[in-house]
Amino acid sequence: MSIKILSGTVLGLEGVLVEIEADITPTSLPAFIVVGLPDAAVQESRERIRSAIKNSGFKFPPSRIAVNLAPADIKKQGPSFDLPIALALLCAARQLEVKLPIDKTLILGELSLDGRLRPVNGVLAMVIGAQEKGMERVIVPKDNISEASVIKEMEIIGVESLAQAVEFLNGSKHIAIANNFELTPADIKYSIDFSDIKGQEGVKRALEIAAAGGHNISMSGPPGSGKTLLAKAFIGILPQMTREEILEVTKIYSVAGLLSVDQPLILHRSFRTPHHTASSVALVGGGSFIKPGEISLAHRGVLFLDEFPEFPRSVLDSLRQPLEDGIVTVSRAQGSVQFPAKFILVTAMNPCPCGFLSDPVKKCVCSPSQVINYQKKISGPLLDRIDLHTEVPRVEYEKLVSLQKSESSKSIADRVLNSRRKQWLRFRNQNIYTNSEMGLEHIRNFCHLDIDSQELMKKAVDQMNLSARSYHRILKIARTIADLSNIENIRLEHVAESLQYRSKLRQI
């Protein structure tokens, strides 16, 4: 008897159901054929299944076996079909009689030759996809339980081997439903605290605004002034992720194959620091088996590009569209997929090749053309997408050796959280979380300017030659500054401070 076993695959971040059926023709010569657009890993599964069936105490039918994966127009990737194919085959060979509603059960798992199960990638995306399709139960390898059991609406059954899966399906063994994994991230201590960084109050203030509203920020200054240090401390002042954010980010890491038994969920915001030799594909995603890139791995977290001008210009320009839309579309011959990419971009650079252009003490030894060539490596449109431009001056000796402690990350984080709460309330039911994500309509509704502020803005737009994008970004920053000060309406001082971060933008 042939029955349909349901399994899944991922398209981008979406879980898609795949129906698996097996047919055995006893009179033909032995063969094992898999059809339905399987990739090399699925083709190889035949060898694993053959050995796993034999080594689990079952009989591999010495006949012609055809396995069909439907729908036929979606490419089936990876080894997660091993277990469902083996089970479909055992049903067709009458060695397994399923006693539960199989049309409501999703089955995933890679087999090893001895019949034990290995964890697979993309489980969370597939479980969410299956739940949306009305499925009730999912059978996964034991090591994937934590990841799958975040979805409370599904019964999660963790199995260790093919034999155990068969015993569960034919009703001879009871396996308890895995407990739901509670998403309550514990506080973690980051290695660098703001209180360890001396001076730099201006930059710290800008970083606080960036964290509060989710704005992009650039830091420019001489070598050794603390840019990298400040960026590393920045992650520690961001608020904890919400349940929805944890699910979004874990889904991305799951599809990228970056989850492990030790880290089955991503509970804390990511801090991604790709090296400047990274390729466009590594940064925005792609590859023959399309995977999310660094910008998606930094989703809801921080993408830190240190030594910003050292990145090839083509690589940097690939960031322009995702920075605007918060989503990246990767197109390949086999189709196009979208990955979310809402991150805070933090960049650090020296103002010139020797690094001392803006330094009041040490003389810059670069020629004007060297400086221009260095700065031209970053395109104007990309700089325009960065909201806060700051200078990180050298720290004076007195400040460096002073015993006075600066404000701690914890107390800055409290203010950031407070202003984020205001934003969550403001944007509830609007599908956005922070001021930086505001569209034109939100800006119209939430960024009213009084007469004085309008006057100041008018002068600034004329004198600083601001683009329409800059204008809107200044308004968003002013909104965040007002939120940080616990003030309902944007005032003149908020706009003035906001403009100050724009004025440091070098004009190209």
Ligand X SMILES: Nc1ncnc2c1ncn2[C@@H]1O[C@H](COP(=O)(O)OP(=O)(O)OP(=O)(O)O)[C@@H](O)[C@H]1O
Residues of this chain that bind ligand X (CB under 6 A): 197-200, 221, 223-229, 348, 350, 395
Give the contacts of 69 (CB within 8 A, at least 6 positions apart).
18, 19, 20, 34, 35, 36, 37, 38, 42, 76, 81
In degrees to the nearest 10, what's the CA dihedral of 294, 338, 445, 207? 0
Contact status, residue 483 vs residue 435, Cβ threshold 8 Å = yes
| Residue 366: contacted member of Mg ion, ligand X, none (CB under 5 to 8 Å, by partner type) | none
Contact status, residue 307 vs residue 351, Cβ threshold 8 Å = no
Nearest to 16 by CA among 36, 31, 33, 40: 36
Nearer to Mg ion, 70 or 192 (CB): 192
Q: Minimum distance between the CB of residue 232 and Mg ion, rounded to whole angstroms?
A: 10
Nearest to 20 by CA among 111, 93, 103, 139: 103
> Any idea what the Cα angle at residue 256 is, between residues 274 and 349, rounded to 5°?
10
Q: Minimum distance between the CB of residue 199 and ligand X, rounded to whole angstroms?
A: 5
Q: Minimum distance between the CB of residue 231 and ligand X, rounded to whole angstroms?
A: 8
Answer yes or no whether residue 273 interacts with Mg ion by CB under 5 A.
no
DSSP code of residue 365: -
Cα(262)–Cα(374) distance, integer angstroms: 43
Contact status, residue 300 vs residue 269, Cβ threshold 8 Å = yes
Residue type, 472: H
Q: Minimum distance between the CB of residue 227 and Mg ion, rounded to whole angstroms?
A: 5
- What spatial distance separates the first Cα and last Cα of the chain, rounded to whole Å? 72
| Residue 45: contacted member of ligand X, Mg ion, none (CB under 5 to 8 Å, by partner type) | none
Nearer to ligand X, 38 or 199 (CB): 199
Answer yes or no whether residue 228 interacts with Mg ion by CB under 5 A.
yes
| Residue 301: contacted member of Mg ion, ligand X, none (CB under 5 to 8 Å, by partner type) | none
| Residue 223: contacted member of ligand X, Mg ion, none (CB under 5 to 8 Å, by partner type) | ligand X
Contact status, residue 445 vs residue 490, Cβ threshold 8 Å = no
Piece of 82-90, 191-199, 226-234, 403-411 that binds Mg ion (CB under 5 A) = 226-234
Chain positions 128 to 167 lying near Mg ion, rule: CB under 5 A, are none
| Residue 225: contacted member of Mg ion, ligand X, none (CB under 5 to 8 Å, by partner type) | ligand X
Cα(387)–Cα(216) distance, integer angstroms: 5
Nearer to Mg ion, 95 or 228 (CB): 228
Nearer to Mg ion, 32 or 304 (CB): 304
| Residue 480: contacted member of ligand X, Mg ion, none (CB under 5 to 8 Å, by partner type) | none
| Residue 200: contacted member of Mg ion, ligand X, none (CB under 5 to 8 Å, by partner type) | ligand X
Q: Minimum distance between the CB of residue 400 and Mg ion, rounded to whole angstroms?
A: 17
Piece of 81-89, 119-127, 154-162, 222-230 that binds Mg ion (CB under 5 A) = 222-230
Query: Which residues bind to Mg ion, rule: CB under 5 A?
Result: 228
